[in-house]
Structure 1
Amino acid sequence: MPIKNSAISFSDVMIRLLFLLSISLTPVLLKGQGIRTRPEAEAAMIKLRRLGQTENKVDLLIDFGRYYLNLRGERKADLTTAMGIRDQASALAAKIEYPKGIAKSMVLKGNILREAGDKTGSLNIYRQVLAYANKLQLKDELAETHIAIGNLLSNEGDDLERKIGYNEKALVLYRQSGNRSEEGNTLKNLGDYYNIKGQPAYAMKLMDASLAVYKAIGFKELQGVYNNMCIINVGLGNYSNALKYGLLAEKTADQLADTSLQRSSICNHLGLTYYYLRNDEKSLAYWQQAKAIAERYQDPAYLQTVIANLASLLVRMKRFNEGITALKEMETKYPPTDVQMKVRIPYLLFNSYYDLEQYDLAAPYFKTLIKFHNELPKSDPNQLFLYRSIIRKFIHDRNFTVAEVYLKAHEKQSKAQNNLLALAQLHRLWFNVDSALNKPWPAIAHYKTYKRLTDSIWNNEKNKQISGLEIEFQTEKKDKDIALLHQRNQLQKVIIANDGKLRYMFIAGLFIAALFLALLYNRYRVKKQSNLVLEQKQEEINSQNELLRKILAEKEWLLREIHHRVKNNLQIVISLLNTQSAYLDNEDALMAIRNSQNRMHAMSLIHQKLYQSDNLAEIDMKWYITELAEYMIECFGMEKKIKFELLTDEVKLDVAQAVPLGLILNEAISNAIKYAFPGDRKGKVKIAFLSLENELCKLSISDDGIGLPVGFNQDDSDSLGMSLMTGLTDQLNGEIKMWNENGLTLEVSFTRHSELLTETTNLIH
């Protein structure tokens, strides 16, 4: 038999490679039952506002941080938001002394740093959590930290071994704490890792244990577990079970309306199962669906795997050029980052060019495969399909002696992994080599072994089981479609019945509309006549309003002019007093003149504000107090000695209350400046004017000076300033108090005039 005809076809050497790379599309279940969707986030936000400073609020904040961390797209803004929420959770946990909250917030910080690319920073945080959680025996948080450290490692070589070790530590801790939900998650993850490691039988035991835990606690989102069980059974060559679990994963995802990236993984594994079942049509449909979902999420790893699988299928369908083009475009658009994908692309291209008999184009890719074969450990799962490519090359070159060496190494690894399909294809290759070497009896023995292994994989019973699974699944889908069609039919009947009712209602509506139009026309004629009368009256009202506006404008001008002149007169008096003081040597007289000037300036400010403002009835007290305080500071030159603090609400008073209040403020500030800080003593004066309930206003002037003399009684005081403040307070119908407390505090309380407020309210309503 010619060697060319006995060479292995490319479609027969894909299986192990497709399986190895499909396991990278096995997503981890979301932790716990935290916030995962926008509606859940909005509901949690409402709940968060109602919570006080409690442990529940810390836990909810941490869930919010995880939600923003896990949002798709890996946007920097989302990570910044997640870190800000984490900081709030950490601060609150420390304040209320909540150790679990502190540990959880630290783990979240490490996860955010890891997502941002700072692996060193995240590892330092995780180590701090281990020390803290160990000290306080926080088992759940210890377990979570072990898993987080494992997530820093890759799924290859020693990293994979260490990752498994961290997850096994976490599993022990979750079992000790009785956390069944996280126990199920960790068992599932370990099953995934052992499957990647090349131990599918043990991985299946872990998946069964995970499924049992999930069912025991009533966990419904089992599509991820079924998805993993599907790919593990593919590795074991049990395609009936693989299809069973793959269809269960799809069914569960449909029931839960799962549209996440996990759906791409489910479709990829079903496509892989149908690929091995030689159902190219279904395999192509599932892989195209997986590709569409991965493109929507813009996930490079998923896209690499699915596009490579599609290329493999296109090559098997003899659409070589399409497959090669897809591979090269994928390599440019989504450059491979892991070893499996770096091996897979040259592997696919080498075998594609060999099928096309373009050996020169295949040569560079063969060199790449040989390099990987020499660099990777001999136990690495990738070596299986590297062996097959190398064997194919030596068979083509008629170098059968070297091919036999690789066949023996291939056999050893296939048996170690209990891979029946790989063994079957291996013996078929060996049959070709022995036939070429004219060794009929060994060739027949290898062919018998090939047939025996193939029959054990593809026996009639399994084929019937696979067909039954497909029929059951398709029947269920058709039943759902029939039920949906029945609902649509009922809805259509209701719509038709409603259309009939609407038709009669439309006719009745037209009749009523005609009557209504006739009535409107009659009313229009009556109203037109009424409008003529109203227009005449409106013209009279408008002319009177115009006259009133002119009168009002004149009165406003006159009132503004009065305020202006009062202000000017007060300024003249201030100037006259200033001139008079130049001829006086008596200090008491000078002080009296200065006090009078300050009082007149306090009144002058009010009139100045009134004539400059559009509102002639009220004074903005916040502005007034600020202006008066600044004037007093400047007047006495106390900027360096005394510091003033102002705290005023937005309050407006009429002139009758603003003037006495301004004079009281003037007297209080003057007294504080003159008497509170004798000698070189420095201090602070705080002025507060607050609006309280029921129109109550309170003016407070306090200082940290020497205070009132011992035994001072304001009622017995003969001071002009004190008498003036008392009289002005009576004018406000208010109450004045003063006491020593780290200095002197003077407080005036009164009720604001409400006439203007009532008028404004009436206008608004």
Structure 2
Amino acid sequence: MKPKTSLYRQIITGLQLGRLSPAGSFYGISTYVSALLLLLTLSSRGQALYPMNGSDLKGALKLEKTDTAKIRLYQKLRKFYAGQYLIEQKKVYLDSAIGAIKKAVELSEKDHEDSLKYQSLKYLGLSYIQAGDTLAAKRCQALAERYFLTSRHFDLAIKSWIGFGEAADRMGLYTLGMSSYRKAISLFFKHPAAGNEANIRYHIAQEYFLLKNPAEGEKEALAIVAKFKNKNINLDQANVFLAAYYRTVGDYRRALKYCLASVRDVEKFSEINEPDYYYGELALIYDALGESENCIKYYKKTLELRTKTAIEEEFLFRTAGFIIKNFIKLGKISAALNQFTTLRKEHPPRSPIGKIFDLQNQAYCEDATGKSAIAERLYLRVIDKLTSLQLLGVRSLAYEDLSNFYLTHHRFDEAKMFAEKMGTGSDLFENKRFEFLRFKIDSTRGDDHSALGHYLSFTKLRDSITNESKNRDIAELQLQYETDKKENDIRYLKKSGDLQKKQLKQARLDQNLILGGSSVLLILLVLLYRSYRINKSNTIEIDQKNKVLNLTVGEKDELLKEKEWLIKEVHHRVKNNLQIVMGLLQRQSSFINNKDALSAIKNSEQRMNSVALIHQKLYQSDNVMTVNMAEYIEELLGYLASCFNLDGAIIFQKDIDCIELEVNVAVPVGLILNEAVTNSIKYAFRDRNSGIIKVLLKKAEAHKYLLSVSDNGDGLPANFDLQQIHSMGFNLMKGLSKQIGGNLKIFNKEGLEIRVEFVPCS
């Protein structure tokens, strides 16, 4: 099942200029705006160009060893193929997208990665919608939603329904889209902190238009703007929605009002990453108002943004076509040619529709440079290719181009023939333009009766969409926009000036302080020198003895510094050697397939790291004799969380006094802690996705310390005999406890607790 690209192609001529129904009917306007809004939300935004293409992602998959990383790469690969399918509409890309995300689901199920599994299922549902399998898509979305709600990720549940609705809209499944947005708003009302009401309601307003109910759509969009306009909330989508609707019905005053408001939001809120269609809509309004300079300005902004996104080529080349036509209208032929050649060089067309619009742009340029024969052939080729692709709406506009061409070259019969093929549009501005063209053709042919009819239709349309009051309101809106912009610039400059004044004032204060301090220092130096001169004769012998003493003390200090440096160097080298051994173990593990051997190597790495951290803390600290245990334990727990990819599933609760232990005690304590925490992570929560591990280190008495590691996991079986534990980890903890003058105890109640009370020997 392919996307409803006919909706897109019917509004290719400037992102919004479409030919959707007969004689300006209300149904035609509704269909027109429906197609426009579908384009604005789903296509114009595009997809950011990927830092890696499909080959790069496949290469990364071959090199990656961890399943978690592979799952994320498969998700990126699905996104890449889905984007390519939108651009080229080749089924092979859709099949590749589904295949990639299914592998992500399989891997996440194998590794019990529930979060990634249901995230992947959500993406699979979107791909099933593209493939036309709505039942499978609904099943995937239902599973994903249930997981998000159960895990209390309400924001993800809301976003998943919005994404599901957008995917349904792309395929023309508007009833499914509306039900998806209804579910999103229902979840929002239950969990208001988890979503954006304005954004969800905007999707509902859009859906009313897609379902041919524009009155409700306009009402909903106006309600959104009225409710949130003074609450510093981004209303860019609702404003541009209304701007597009009012433009299509010829109300340019309100269209410009809401479009300028949307552009202000674009420039105000930094989270809007792809504002191309806002500038495109503003360009269309200025085009309808005959303001070519402003039209070119905003079309150029639109084109610049679209060249940076993975967007369907018709939008890219048609936007360039509008720039070229307006340059020609202003007599800037060289600028038009430069625009055409630059786009073709930097973005050569690949798709059939992209090549058609590239030919049409070339025809404009050839005609403008006097090569009418070449231009005629190109115009006819465009119509022929559009006919073969059954793009009737865009073909009507191509007829208009060719009719204008023949009229300009005084070939009136041919101009009349193609003008009769144009039909009638659903856009009032477009109809006005068509009627005026027919009037010019009939008047030059001497058909006064027909010319008068078309002229009366033209004036009626012109008067319905432009009058003196509307023009004045439009001018006031533009002036207000420019005034607001200038006021913002003035406020910015004023703030900059105030900041510079503060900086200058601070610089002067600093200068005065420096001068005052220098003066005081100079006075002190004079007094000291005077005192030195007075007492010089009485202090020569004392000075000599002090020199000898200072020399001795200096030598001692140097020896102490050298000793400290050597100790730090020893700790540093021990740490580096342990890192080398850990690296060798990691390298060796890549050649071992035995799970027990791999587990043993991993345990050894973690034990070595706990010791290496001790030596690292010692050579980084000014005190080379003791270790700050609070800092050490924080780093050790962070390392273990990273090793086991906890991602917040297991929470560490720490209660650690500010204790400094000597290295001969800190090392055993670190190893005991490593064994106990590792044991809890690996075995306490086998049937659960979350848990708590408490780590406690307290100074119980003057020379007595308490170390405790406990969890709220499953614990040991009720009749388990602790004396029968002979694992290496347990024996290691017992031996280390004795080494530091302590006693190891295990408590099996509401989880497992390992406790060591110790009195370290000095």
* Kept in 1: contact 2:208–2:216 (CA 8 A): no
* Kept in 2: contact 1:204–1:229 (CA 8 A): no
Q: Which residue of 1 aligns with 2:455?
A: 447
Q: 1:478 & 1:545 partners in 2: Cα distance?
A: 66
Q: 2:134 & 2:475 partners in 1: Cα distance?
A: 50
Q: 2:407 & 2:188 partners in 1: Cα distance?
A: 58
Give, in angstroms, the shift of residue 206 of structure 1. Answer: 1.7
Cα RMSD between the aligned structures?
A: 6.1
Q: Which residue of 1 aligns with 2:270?
A: 258
Give, in angstroms, the shift of residue 244 of structure 1. Answer: 0.4
Q: 2:16 aligns with which of 14, 19, 24?
A: 19
Amino acid at match of 1:277: L
3-state SS in 1 of match to 2:272: coil
Residue pairs, 1:681-760, within 5 angstroms? 694=704, 754-755=761-762
Amino acid at match of 1:248: A
Q: 1:188 aligns with which of 202, 223, 229?
A: 202
Give, in angstroms, the shift of residue 143 of structure 1. Answer: 8.2
Q: 1:401 & 1:731 partners in 2: Cα distance?
A: 107
Give, in angstroms, the shift of residue 349 of structure 1. Answer: 2.4
Q: Which residue of 2 aligns with 1:168?
A: 178
Q: Which residue of 1 aligns with 2:241?
A: 228
Moved more, 365-374 or 515-524: 515-524
Q: 2:528 & 2:307 partners in 1: Cα distance?
A: 61
Q: 1:458 to 1:170 in 2, by over 3 A?
A: same
Q: 1:152 to 1:202 in 2, by over 3 A?
A: closer
Q: Which residue of 1 aligns with 2:289?
A: 277
Amino acid at match of 1:438: G
Residue pairs, 1:604-615, within 5 angstroms? none
3-state SS in 1 of match to 2:16: helix
* Kept in 1: contact 2:283–2:296 (CA 8 A): yes
Q: 1:269 to 1:547 in 2, by over 3 A?
A: closer
Q: Which residue of 2 aligns with 1:240?
A: 253
Q: Which residue of 2 aligns with 1:430?
A: 438
Amino acid at match of 1:129: C
Amino acid at match of 2:202: K
Q: 2:707 & 2:141 partners in 1: Cα distance?
A: 58
Q: 1:322 aligns with which of 335, 338, 342?
A: 335
Q: 1:226 to 1:338 in 2, by over 3 A?
A: farther
3-state SS in 2 of match to 1:220: coil
Q: Normalising to structure 2: TM-score of the pair? A: 0.51
Amino acid at match of 1:410: M
Amino acid at match of 2:279: C
Are 1:473 and 2:481 counterparts?
yes
Q: 1:502 to 1:542 in 2, by over 3 A?
A: closer
* Kept in 2: contact 1:146–1:166 (CA 8 A): no
Q: 2:740 & 2:184 partners in 1: Cα distance?
A: 73
Moved more, 395-404 or 448-457: 395-404
Q: 1:143 to 1:106 in 2, by over 3 A?
A: farther
Q: 1:230 & 1:544 partners in 2: Cα distance?
A: 82
Q: Which residue of 2 aligns with 1:358?
A: 371
Q: 1:148 & 1:733 partners in 2: Cα distance?
A: 61
* Kept in 1: contact 2:122–2:160 (CA 8 A): no
Q: 2:419 & 2:358 partners in 1: Cα distance?
A: 23
Q: 1:518 aligns with which of 521, 526, 532?
A: 526
Residues 423-461 of structure 1: CA deviation (Å, up to 9, x unaligned): 222222222332343322222222232233223322112
Residues 701-748 of structure 1: CA deviation (Å, up to 9, x unaligned): 96689xxxxxxxxxxxxxxxxxxxxxxx999999999xxxxxxxxxxx
Q: 2:326 aligns with which of 297, 313, 318?
A: 313
Q: 1:187 & 1:736 partners in 2: Cα distance?
A: 61
Give, in angstroms, the shift of residue 245 of structure 1. Answer: 0.7
Q: 2:510 & 2:558 partners in 1: Cα distance?
A: 55
Q: 1:212 aligns with which of 201, 205, 223?
A: 223
Give, in angstroms, the shift of residue 464 of structure 1. Answer: 1.0
Give, in angstroms, the shift of residue 374 of structure 1. Answer: 1.2
Q: Which residue of 2 aligns with 1:334?
A: 347
Give, in angstroms, the shift of residue 168 of structure 1. Answer: 2.2
Amino acid at match of 1:269: E
Q: 1:516 & 1:134 partners in 2: Cα distance?
A: 77
Q: Which residue of 1 aligns with 2:119?
A: 108
Q: 1:471 to 1:362 in 2, by over 3 A?
A: same
Count of matched residue pairs: 507
Amino acid at match of 1:173: K
Q: 1:26 to 1:460 in 2, by over 3 A?
A: same
Give, in angstroms, the shift of residue 170 of structure 1. Answer: 1.6
Query: In terms of Rg, which structure is larger?
Result: 1
Residues 111-138 of structure 1: CA deviation (Å, up to 9, x unaligned): 6679999977999984542454799998
Q: 1:365 & 1:731 partners in 2: Cα distance?
A: 91
Residues 339-382 of structure 1: CA deviation (Å, up to 9, x unaligned): 7755433333223322333124324532442234313446x542
* Kept in 2: contact 1:284–1:313 (CA 8 A): yes
Amino acid at match of 2:394: N
* Kept in 1: contact 2:177–2:207 (CA 8 A): no
Q: 2:757 & 2:117 partners in 1: Cα distance?
A: 54
Moved more, 114-123 or 206-215: 114-123
Q: 2:527 & 2:309 partners in 1: Cα distance?
A: 62
Q: 2:445 & 2:374 partners in 1: Cα distance?
A: 28
Amino acid at match of 2:483: T
Amino acid at match of 1:351: Y
Amino acid at match of 2:119: L
Amino acid at match of 2:140: V
* Kept in 2: contact 1:261–1:293 (CA 8 A): no
The percent identity for this pair of structures is 17
3-state SS in 2 of match to 1:221: coil
Q: Normalising to structure 1: TM-score of the pair? A: 0.51
Q: Which residue of 2 aligns with 1:388?
A: 400
Amino acid at match of 2:472: K
* Kept in 1: contact 2:225–2:238 (CA 8 A): no
Give, in angstroms, the shift of residue 106 of structure 1. Answer: 5.6
Q: 1:696 to 1:318 in 2, by over 3 A?
A: closer
Q: Which residue of 2 aligns with 1:373?
A: 386
Q: 1:232 & 1:125 partners in 2: Cα distance?
A: 35
Higher relative contact order (CA 8 A, sep 6+): 2
Q: 2:333 & 2:282 partners in 1: Cα distance?
A: 23
Amino acid at match of 1:324: L
Q: 1:173 & 1:293 partners in 2: Cα distance?
A: 33
Q: 2:516 & 2:559 partners in 1: Cα distance?
A: 55
Q: 2:292 & 2:739 partners in 1: Cα distance?
A: 99
Q: 1:317 to 1:151 in 2, by over 3 A?
A: same
3-state SS in 2 of match to 1:382: helix
Give, in angstroms, the shift of residue 274 of structure 1. Answer: 2.2
Amino acid at match of 1:320: I
Q: Which residue of 1 aligns with 2:623?
A: none
Q: 1:105 & 1:752 partners in 2: Cα distance?
A: 47
Q: 1:128 to 1:502 in 2, by over 3 A?
A: same
3-state SS in 1 of match to 2:379: helix
Q: Which residue of 1 aligns with 2:548?
A: 536
Q: 1:453 to 1:252 in 2, by over 3 A?
A: same
